[in-house]
Structure 1
Amino acid sequence: MEEKKLIGVDLGGTSIKFAIMTMTGEIQQRWSEETNILDEGAHIIPDIIDSINHHLTMYAMDAADFAGIGMGSPGSVDRDQGTVIGAYNLNWKQTVYPKRDIEAATKIPFYIDNDANVAALGERWKGAGDNQPDVAFITLGTGIGGGIIANNELLHGVAGSAGEIGHITVDPQGYMCTCGKRGCLETIASATGVVRVARDMAEEYAGDSQLKKQLDDGDEISAKIVFDLAKANDPLAVRVIDRVCFYLGLAVANIGNTLNPAYIVIGGGVSAAGDFLLQQVQKYFEEFTFPNVRDNTKLRLATLGNVAGVIGAASLVIANNKD
């Protein structure tokens, strides 16, 4: 099997990323396609099949050259059945059958998992996780996702909801979440959460602040704008980011206290704030962890960027062929 190749597919609402990789995780070819979500997402799986088959023809390869295809998908994934339901950003409202359809059309074994889980696998294998057996991953984007690897195994839980870090309750009297409960981390520390916190704090803030002026003027703001203003010492933005990082630090400390992984890796769009974000979170992580965890679990920024998904997806093939 060593000389065979892997295919990783990272399915998102805007684009589908593909990679052909070696069994040791080196990317040899990479490409992407636009995600066509029209007609309730009916074009997505045929487009994936066409793209894979087209590129295999282009590279003079066939099914026998590959150990398997791994894919990360939004929505509720049934790994055993190879199905997905409720991926609303793909317009997949009904159950779809990626495994059945892609295996039949490519003749290559196919494996699937949740997109946040496969990003965790990618960062753990070839990124900031240093291939350690115990790594937690949190992705800060429009929402907050995560994945937990313990003793070399990706945790799924009894109903597939292990690693839903975005729904850790950090403020029981806080904002309502789309999940139906109050105070989820996602409502505060996601990209949309940062903006929500900024708007609320601006209403009570009376001093001089560029952030307050932009909000009062009705300008569109983003998490990036809030972080950039905080880096420039805008007094309101500094307070907003401190509040966000308090709750984020509390959540990652609880992960550390519960799991004691080697690394808690922070990725996603909000993590582009870099060391500025990490230092703020680290302060509260140290406050809320007990000494053994504080000394042995380290916070790190993700390093793979937008290839974490394809690398982690490809690693599903290896994980499912260990025996």
Structure 2
Amino acid sequence: MYFVGVDIGGTGVQAGVVNELGEILFRKECITNVDSGFECVMDDINNLVRELLKENNLNIEDIKSIGFGVPSFINKKGLVTCVNLGWYEVNFMEALEKRFPEVKVYAENDATVAAVGEAKFGSMKDKDTAIMYTLGTGVGGGIVINGKAFTGAHGMGSEIGHTIIGENYFNCNCGNNGCLESFCSATAIIKYAQKLIEEGRKSIILDMAHGDIEKVNAKMVFDAFRENDEVALETINRFKSYLSKAMAGMINTLDPDVISIGGGVSRASDIILDGIEGLIREQILYQKEEFANIVCATLGADAGIIGAAFLN
């Protein structure tokens, strides 16, 4: 028996046939034609999945379930609002069931889906309580308890990127001030480094950007950190301070077995993990006790497909 996982993004949709060991056997992708509207995108996804099966001599009857990761919150009525896709309270689950009547379909937020993948076959495998932070342009995350995604009573849970952890000098994209996303995303790293440079601080980061402050990216800041650049040191140490604060709060609340870090920012795992446990220990309640292992995600971009395939 096989599973299908579908990872829906703002620019592309990736689908994969996954076996019971979590191995992606076959994969196919298509463009997310946002301008064509919700129904057309759903038709494209339907065609994508069915072509993937046909090309690999599989029938829909060979598939136990199809799971979908979507960059949005899905409420208990199956409605989705996703500004990046131009979807406003579209009935996502109804659309899936209409197009795939032969098989069970499931869907969750894409960061939650990635956490399921890591919990099933990656960095959080075989752990009863597992937390994943996806650090990219924004901050997403997922909570997996006893192998199942936790999203709360109304489907709004696991939005850990929007935990309020302090006051910031700019608001989060969600409109609130102090969200973890506004401290620990790639965007936040870039903004803070730019702020220091604009205040007159000297930095090799600007040289890396060929003098154009608008071209600064997070990788440059991490590279400059390795060169002991003062702006980079302050920026990344600030980032780690707030990340450890968020993790400490999660440990005090859920006492997870493991916390995994994924997303593009996690490519600098040597810097992020260095000393992070010490920072967390300073802020947790029971400072002398063992607490969650802090690790980096291992499935990379495949976590979305694999996690979606094993939703239930």
**Same fold judged by TM-score > 0.5?**
yes
Give 2:10's match in structure 1, choosing from 8, 13, 24.
13
- 1:234 to 1:292, Cα distance in 2 relative to 1, 3 A: closer
CA drift at 1:53: 1.2
Cα distance in 2 for partners of 1:215, 1:62 equals: 51
CA contact (8 A) 2:7 2:13 kept: yes
Amino acid at match of 2:309: A
CA drift at 1:293: 7.9
1:272 aligns with 2:267: yes
CA contact (8 A) 1:99 1:110 kept: no
- 1:293 to 1:261, Cα distance in 2 relative to 1, 3 A: farther
Amino acid at match of 1:305: G
Cα distance in 1 for partners of 2:278, 2:287 equals: 16
Amino acid at match of 1:159: H
Q: How does 1:221-232 map to 2 (within 5 A)?
A: 221-232=216-227
Give the secondary structure class of the aligned counterpart of 1:93.
strand
CA contact (8 A) 1:49 1:106 kept: no
CA contact (8 A) 1:49 1:102 kept: no
Report how many residues are paired.
Answer: 311
CA drift at 1:270: 0.8
- 1:56 to 1:152, Cα distance in 2 relative to 1, 3 A: closer
Alpha-carbon displacement from aligned partner over 1:277-320 (angstroms, at most 9, x marks no partner): 1215334222212446862311000110000011110111xx3x
Which residue is equivalent to 2:63? 66
Cα distance in 1 for partners of 2:254, 2:140 equals: 17
Give the secondary structure class of the aligned counterpart of 1:43.
helix
Structure 1: tracts of 5 or more residues without a match: none
CA drift at 1:193: 0.7
Alpha-carbon displacement from aligned partner over 1:94-123 (angstroms, at most 9, x marks no partner): 414354445535622211111111111001
Which region of structure 1 is more displaced relative to structure 2, 290-299 or 151-160? 290-299
Amino acid at match of 1:211: I
- 1:293 to 1:155, Cα distance in 2 relative to 1, 3 A: farther
CA drift at 1:215: 7.3
Cα distance in 2 for partners of 1:35, 1:216 equals: 34
Which residue is equivalent to 2:167? 172
Cα distance in 2 for partners of 1:54, 1:10 equals: 16
Alpha-carbon displacement from aligned partner over 1:65-122 (angstroms, at most 9, x marks no partner): 11110111112213x54x3422121121341435444553562221111111111100
Cα distance in 2 for partners of 1:129, 1:283 equals: 21
Amino acid at match of 2:72: G
Which residue is equivalent to 2:149? 154
Cα distance in 2 for partners of 1:100, 1:209 equals: 51
- 1:106 to 1:34, Cα distance in 2 relative to 1, 3 A: farther
Amino acid at match of 1:55: L
Structure 2: tracts of 5 or more residues without a match: none
Give the secondary structure class of the aligned counterpart of 1:227.
helix
Give 1:51's match in structure 2, choosing from 48, 53, 56.
48
Give the secondary structure class of the aligned counterpart of 2:90.
coil
Cα distance in 2 for partners of 1:33, 1:131 equals: 33
Give the secondary structure class of the aligned counterpart of 1:86.
strand
Cα distance in 2 for partners of 1:181, 1:44 equals: 31
Alpha-carbon displacement from aligned partner over 1:4-31 (angstroms, at most 9, x marks no partner): 1100111111221111112332221122
Amino acid at match of 1:259: L
Which region of structure 1 is more displaced relative to structure 2, 259-268 or 219-228? 219-228
TM-score normalised according to structure 2 size: 0.92
Give the secondary structure class of the aligned counterpart of 1:295.
coil
Amino acid at match of 1:202: I
Give 1:115's match in structure 2, choosing from 110, 119, 123.
110
CA contact (8 A) 2:46 2:99 kept: no
Cα distance in 1 for partners of 2:48, 2:210 equals: 48
Which region of structure 1 is more displaced relative to structure 2, 11-20 or 289-298? 289-298
Cα distance in 1 for partners of 2:288, 2:186 equals: 28
Amino acid at match of 1:10: D
Q: How does 1:164-243 map to 2 (within 5 A)?
A: 164-206=159-201, 208-212=202-206, 217-219=211-213, 220-243=215-238
Q: Percent identity?
A: 33
Cα distance in 2 for partners of 1:158, 1:293 equals: 34
TM-score normalised according to structure 1 size: 0.89
- 1:150 to 1:205, Cα distance in 2 relative to 1, 3 A: farther
Give 1:40's match in structure 2, choosing from 37, 40, 43.
37
- 1:269 to 1:293, Cα distance in 2 relative to 1, 3 A: farther
CA contact (8 A) 2:119 2:147 kept: no
CA contact (8 A) 2:206 2:212 kept: no
When the two chains are superposed, the root-mean-square deviation of aligned CA atoms in Å is: 2.2
Cα distance in 1 for partners of 2:273, 2:290 equals: 16
Which residue is equivalent to 2:240? 245
